[in-house]
Amino acid sequence: MTTGNLAEPPQRSGIPAAYLGLVVIWSTTPLAMVVSLRDLDAVWALALRMLIAAVLAHGVLHLAGLRLALGADALRRYAIGALSMYGAMLFTYLGARQLPSGMIAIIFGFSPLLVGLLSWVAFRSVRFAPLQWLGLGMAVLGLAMIFLQGEKLSAIHTPSVLLLLAGVFCYAVSALWLKQLPQALPPLMQTTGALWLSALAALLTVPLLAGPAPSHWPGLASALALVYSAAIGSIVAMLCYFYLLQRIEVGTMALSTLITPVFALLLGMLFNHERFRPEILWGMGMILLGLAAYYERELRRALLPFVGKGRRLVAVRVPE
């Protein structure tokens, strides 16, 4: 009896674990960021995170038998990548001081829509279907609802939301810019180089924007959250992301954009005692619905195999 059909091919056997790991990491990173700021200044926390992540990533690069490229083209790519790390994270950390982790996850869920919109404006390389325009409009309406209520509700600090949107813009510009360059570097090398430039930029920013240097060690929760953000949020998540990007459909990846904010909201409520007024929940829900509408075509393709399997199982079921 042959057993070849009972096991998954080796190149696909790690997909469920990688996908689950990515969703878990992306769902927990906003909470880890907020917790790390309990005992640390935002800019100091960012500088430490970037430095720890750069050292760890360089070690992984060495274990993989790769050397960091230092040519002009590579340095340009690292600088563009640093825009999505240092640039996006600087605004995010500054905004995270007065925002709940669930809100951070929701706003960053808006980033794929912004990448698509920038592609359409700058290169006309994307043609939106009517439902995608509807999704963009719903997401913007959700943001407007949050802004309007943010002035009235102490739980939402509008300037912090604006800082977070500036971070999302940096991330989107960097992603779009890198996509236009030919002959990409290996993902681990690209990430390591961008992390080193981000760490350098963060250290240079400390005298300008940071508060006083920490006078004592952070508490255990803040220290663990900082290490988790650096090691897991900046490195392991990247490895899972690029592993999946080469092996699964875009629509399946898009599902994570919808799942992650929901889990992040629940985690923030459970472990950080975050609470939202109904008006803010309506705005965040509108953003999630906008994301679902924007990715409707990709999500339908991703879910079709599962729907087909369910129909076949119902069709072959014999009534008792």
Tens of pLDDT, residues 246-288: 677 655 666 777 788 888 888 888 888 887 777 778 888 888 8
Q: What percent of the chain has pLDDT over 90?
A: 29
Tens of pLDDT, residues 106-134: 888 778 788 778 878 877 666 778 888 89
Tens of pLDDT, residues 31-59: 999 999 989 999 999 999 999 999 999 99
List the one residue out of 190, 203, 178, 223 whose CA is nearest residue 80. 178
pLDDT, mean of residues 4-14: 50
CB contact burial 209-219 (16+ within 10 A = b; e otherwise): ebeeeeeeebe
Band of pLDDT at residue 185, cut at 50, 70 and 90: confident
Contact 106, 27 (CB under 8 A): no
Q: Is the pLDDT of residue 310 over 70?
A: no
Instruction: For the chain, give the mean pLDDT.
Output: 81
Structure tokens at 129: 């279907």
pLDDT, mean of residues 298-307: 66
Structure tokens at 317: 């079921």
Tens of pLDDT, residues 128-151: 788 888 988 888 888 887 777 654
Contact 213, 48 (CB under 8 A): no
Tens of pLDDT, residues 197-213: 999 999 999 988 887 77
Give the Cα separation of 240 and 227 in Å (integer).
Answer: 18
Per-residue model confidence (pLDDT) at position 6: 40
Q: Is the pTM for the entire model greater than 0.75? A: yes
